[in-house]
Amino acid sequence: MNYLQAARAGGYAVGAFIVDSLDAMEGVAAACGRAGLPAVMMAGMNTARFLGPERYVDLCRSVGRSCSVPVYAHLDHCTDPALLLQCARAGFDCVMFDGSQQSFEKNISACAVLAEECHHLGTLLEGELGVIAGQEEHVESALSQFTDPALAEEFVRRSGVDALAVSVGNAHGLYQGKPELQFGLLEELSARCPIPLVLHGGTGIPAQDIRRAVGLGVCKINVGTELRRAYLDAVRDYAAQEGGTAIGLSQAIRERITAASVGYLDNYRAEGCGHAAL
Ligand code: 13P
């Protein structure tokens, strides 16, 4: 059983956070350790290219050695198959191919080719069906297009992906007003898709909605905007103080990132689910 299947079986979700520095990773790892949940460190394409896939994996492994919970490296929203395979070869535990801007058939065929290669390397592949509103690096859409359950079932069967990102009223970036997650749709997707479901756009989803989504089979929840904001706020606030040091800045960033992540992780267990067995 892989770590996403274990989450689905255990009634919890793993916390997946966009992080691109050692301090941010340490901050997330501390929060996940406290929550007793696996930590998923996510790099977007820009970070994977900037640091290099090997360096990113090395950082995750290094953080994982001093963490009480498993730490996984994940590539988020990749539209470049060559980069995706480079990350899989470098040891990323899971990579996401974002074919949401392509036709259904092209999305399936691209995922099927990548899934075969990834599985050969021991890497999980996350796919996406439907369109999530908002912007995440290279992928942007003004409107969302909800994931169709019948198409999702076919997509999962034919593409060979290990996890599916769904569009159910979630959006990247800050929500305009209260997010309206479609729980009936999520329930149907869960019933039809035997693989773990992923909820993107975690920033700003109310706690009770997150708990309900986890109860309906969501096994990984992505958070980016909130952590970017926490990082930059920590740098700004620390720089405004007198007599700072480089280590003091690192500590301030870690603490702020931990505080921001803990708030999410508190809701990643379905009602009635005890401490996750890792
Ligand atoms: P937010 O930035 O809205 O938290 O979403 C992040 C995300 O889903 C990355 O895949």
Report the residue among 200, 229, 265 best suited for mutation to probe ligand 1: largest number of ligand atoms under 8 A from its CB: 200
Tell me, yes or no, if 76 is annotated catalytic.
yes
Render 162-176 in DSSP notation, one character per residue: SEEEE-SS-BSSS-S
Pairing of strands 94-97, 124-129: parallel
What domains are there in the chain, each with its CATH number?
14-265 (3.20.20.70)
- Give the pLDDT score at 145: 87
User: From the annotation, which residues make up the binding site?
Assistant: 77, 98, 128, 172-173, 200-203, 222-225
Output phi, psi for 20, to 5 deg. -135, 25
- Give the pLDDT score at 47: 98
Residue 273 has pLDDT above 70, yes or no: no
pLDDT digits (tens, 9 = 90+) for 248-264: 999 999 999 999 999 99
Q: Which residues contact 117 (CB under 8 A, 6 or more apart)?
A: 85, 88
C-alpha distances in angstroms, 172 versus 85, 104, 136, 188? Answer: 25, 22, 6, 22
pLDDT digits (tens, 9 = 90+) for 1-56: 999 999 999 999 999 999 999 999 999 999 999 999 999 999 999 999 999 999 99
Structure tokens at 139: 């992928």
- Give the pLDDT score at 137: 75
**172 CA closest ligand 1 atom index:** 3
Angle of helix 149-159 versus helix 104-121 axis, rounded to 10: 40
Instruction: Please choose, from the candidates 49, 128, 48, the residue with its C-alpha nearest in 3D space to the C-alpha of residue 96.
Output: 128
- Give the pLDDT score at 181: 93
The whole-angstrom separation of Cα 14 and Cα 124 is: 15
Instruction: Look at the block and give the residue holding tokens 């994931």.
Output: 147
Report the residue among 222, 228, 232, 264 best suited for mutation to probe ligand 1: largest number of ligand atoms under 8 A from its CB: 222
Instruction: Please choose, from the candidates 130, 129, 6, the residue with its C-alpha nearest in 3D space to the C-alpha of residue 72.
Output: 6
Pairing of strands 197-199, 218-223: parallel
User: From the annotation, which residues make up the binding site for Zn(2+)?
Assistant: 77, 98, 128, 172, 200
How far does the centroid of ligand 1 lie from the alpha carbon of residue 216, in Å? 20
State the sign of the Cα–Cα–Cα–Cα dihedral 267, 270, 276, 278: negative
Residue 210 has pLDDT above 80, yes or no: yes
DSSP at 182 = -
* Residue of 23, 76, 162, 209 with catalytic role: 76
How far does the centroid of ligand 1 lie from the alpha carbon of residue 201, in Å? 4
Contact indicator for 179, 169 with CB cutoff of 8 Å:
yes
Contact indicator for 222, 18 with CB cutoff of 8 Å:
yes
Task: Identify the residue with better confidence: 272 or 89.
Answer: 89
- Give the pLDDT score at 154: 98
Ligand 1, atom 5, residue with closest C-alpha: 201
How far does the centroid of ligand 1 lie from the alpha carbon of residue 21, in Å? 17
State the sign of the Cα–Cα–Cα–Cα dihedral 184, 134, 2, 19: negative
Which residues surround ligand 1 with Cβ inside 6 Å?
A: 18, 76-77, 136, 172-173, 200-203, 222-226
How far does the centroid of ligand 1 lie from the alpha carbon of residue 151, in Å? 24
How many whole angstroms from its chain centre is CA 70?
A: 15
pLDDT digits (tens, 9 = 90+) for 152-196: 999 999 999 999 999 999 988 888 888 899 999 999 999 999 999
Structure tokens at 253: 């960033």
Contact indicator for 171, 191 with CB cutoff of 8 Å:
no
Lowest mean pLDDT of 74-88, 127-141, 150-164, 208-222, name the range.
127-141
- Give the pLDDT score at 128: 96
pLDDT digits (tens, 9 = 90+) for 124-155: 999 999 987 787 777 777 677 899 999 999 99
- Give the pLDDT score at 197: 97
- Give the pLDDT score at 272: 61
- Give the pLDDT score at 275: 54
Structure tokens at 276: 């996750």
Mean pLDDT score of the chain, rounded to an integer? 94
